[in-house]
Structure 1
């Protein structure tokens, strides 16, 4: 078995993937709403460049945050729970130890 997948059953992997995709979709939806709002306020070249800079930062943040590798996914889930992009109950199906770790890490 691939060491990256050790400790993860196929059903857990499916739960993790679905939760991850759901949180990603929420993050993108939030970004789109923010961009729409900011775009309505564009009034100069400077405001366009500020929007560009904002988007560059957000792209870097989202690409860094959303890394689906099972060896680090508990940390990702804890961060997403802390940021309200994911709820613990959306991770139902993971074993109790994994859920406990996510809950504990999300408190810091």
Structure 2
């Protein structure tokens, strides 16, 4: 039986690549969460207004939506996700070392779009 549609072009991830990908994904997620935490602390520290808690709430709500849109661990879209994370600085090329050359090329391409 032949694959149809987009599944035909889906990359194959070796067990080692899956481990490396998971590690890189979690590193990027943790970096972004640490940056969010630093921003929230800054927002709170720089304001004497008690209503800053609602500004923090609104900020976190928006950031949660963005994080949920970005951090998608389906293998079919992981190269695009890594490209975006590389472009935004949450990942480095060193974080992706060990992935297949074909995947790295596509990730770098996605990072430029």
Global fold match (TM > 0.5): yes
State how far apart, in whole Å, the 1-side matches of 2:44 and 2:64 are: 17
Q: Could you tell me which residue of structure 2 aligns to residue 83 of structure 1?
A: 88
Unaligned 5+ residue runs, structure 1?
Answer: none
User: Of 10, 26, 31, which aligns to 1:21?
Assistant: 26
After superposition, the CA RMSD in angstroms is 1.6
State the 4+ residue runs in structure 1 displaced beyond 2 angstroms: 41-48
The answer on 1:66 being equivalent to 2:71 is yes
Which structure has more relative contact order (CA 8 Å, sep 6+)? It is 1
Unaligned 5+ residue runs, structure 2?
Answer: 1-6
State how far apart, in whole Å, the 2-side matches of 1:15 and 1:48 are: 38
Aligned length, in residue pairs: 105
For normalisation by structure 1, the TM-score amounts to: 0.89
Q: Could you tell me which residue of structure 2 aligns to residue 53 of structure 1?
A: 58
For normalisation by structure 2, the TM-score amounts to: 0.85
CA shift digits 1:40-99 (9 cap, x unpaired) = 123334432222110110111112211111110001000000000001121111111110
